[in-house]
Amino acid sequence: MEFKKELKDHYSKGHEKYLRHISVDCVIFGFHENDLKVLLLKTKYAGGWALPGGFILKNEHMDASAQRILKERTGLDEIFLEQFHVFGDPDRSTKKINQQFLKNIGVKADISWMFERFVTIGYYALVDFTKVTPSPDNISAACEWFSIYQLPEMILDHHHIFDEALQNLRMQLNFHPVGFNLLGKKFTMPELQKLYETILGKELDRRNFQRKMLATGILKRLDETKKGVAHKAPFYYKFDLRNYKKALKSGMHSFE
């Protein structure tokens, strides 16, 4: 069985390929149907959901590892990525989980780099939900989006990692208009507002939001309005990358 051989190799020889003791975990945020979502993997046999993660190749830039992991799970390139925290508690051991996993799947291994302690580097990613094709890795049974307000049971400290990621994202939102990375090429003001409200977890004033957003100068209104929608049709906007870069230098404003 090809899969078992691959797995055995990973456990017995992975340390020749990857840096020991270091893993990368990604909190992938997407926005869909007015809800902020996170992409999670269901581990085979071993119960519980997990953040997509991986390891750093011996000659690979750490940021590139995160990009590679994201590419594999979402199919996307050049994702917005932000390293936000390192989790270095010696008790966050994956040993038990890994041993349980191998036992269940019927692979033997007594010692393995995978049983050793891991320090994990947390990244969060902001992706365009509509562009993502979630695909599980070979040790996972499923790869699905979850609302951040209805997360399932998660392995290890992954829920804690998620919490930190969300907190960092909220902070970031006050300085850089990172929200745009979660939307498509064009979007309406109400959509953008919903996004902000979902991330921040609170409602914002519609009129003040629009004024502030436009004041940043990083939005460009299109002549097009949203079609086939009840009530007054909202305009589409697009994100003006050039002005964005200029605005970044002079600092961004915060939201309520």
Partner DNA sequence: CCAAAAGTGTTTAAAATACACCCATGC
Partner DNA sequence: GCATGGGTGTATTTTAAACACTTTTGG
Residues that bind DNA (CB under 7 A): 188-190, 205-208, 210-212, 225, 228-235, 253-256
Instruction: Return the closest-CA partner of residue 72 out of 112, 125, 147, 18.
Output: 125
Residue 251 binding: pick among a second copy, DNA, none (C-beta 5-8 Å cut-off by kind): none
Decide whether 35 or 63 has the Cβ nearer to a second copy. 63
Binding of a second copy by 83 (CB under 8 A): yes
Binding mask 107-146 toward a second copy (x if CB under 8 A, else -) reads ----------x-x-x-------------------------
Residue 203: CB atoms within 10 Å: 12
Binding of a second copy by 59 (CB under 8 A): yes
Could you say which of 89, 203, 205, 256 contacts a second copy (CB under 8 A)? Answer: 89
Instruction: Return the closest-CA partner of residue 194 out of 184, 204, 185.
Output: 204
Q: Tell me phi and psi for residue 77, to 5 degrees.
A: -105, 165
Q: Which ranges of the chain would DSSP assign to H, the alpha helix?
A: 2-17, 62-74, 95-105, 158-175, 189-200, 206-215, 241-250
If phi > 0 it is left, if psi is from -120 to 50 it is alpha, else beta; for residue 117 that is beta
DSSP label at residue 227: -
Could you say which of 8, 12, 14, 22 contacts a second copy (CB under 8 A)? Answer: 22
Neighbouring C-alpha atoms within 13 Å toward the C-beta of 115: 12
Could you say which of 4, 13, 17, 58 contacts a second copy (CB under 8 A)? Answer: 58
Residue 108 binding: pick among a second copy, DNA, none (C-beta 5-8 Å cut-off by kind): none
Residues with Cβ within 8 Å of 105's Cβ and at least 6 positions away in sequence, in order, are 4, 7, 44, 45
Residue 165: CB atoms within 10 Å: 25
Could you say which of 16, 33, 78, 90 contacts a second copy (CB under 8 A)? Answer: 90
Decide whether 22 or 214 has the Cβ nearer to DNA. 214
Instruction: Return the closest-CA partner of residue 128 out of 185, 71, 82.
Output: 185
Residue 60 binding: pick among a second copy, DNA, none (C-beta 5-8 Å cut-off by kind): a second copy
Decide whether 93 or 210 has the Cβ nearer to DNA. 210
Residue 88 binding: pick among DNA, a second copy, none (C-beta 5-8 Å cut-off by kind): a second copy
Q: Tell me phi and psi for residue 196, to 5 degrees.
A: -60, -45
Residue 121 binding: pick among DNA, a second copy, none (C-beta 5-8 Å cut-off by kind): a second copy
Q: Which residue has the tokens 């997509």?
A: 52
Binding of a second copy by 103 (CB under 8 A): no
Measured distance CA(12)–CA(87) in Å, rounded: 25
Residue 62 binding: pick among a second copy, DNA, none (C-beta 5-8 Å cut-off by kind): a second copy
Decide whether 59 or 133 has the Cβ nearer to a second copy. 59
Return residues touching a second copy (CB under 8 A): 19-22, 56, 58-63, 65, 83, 85-86, 88-90, 117, 119, 121
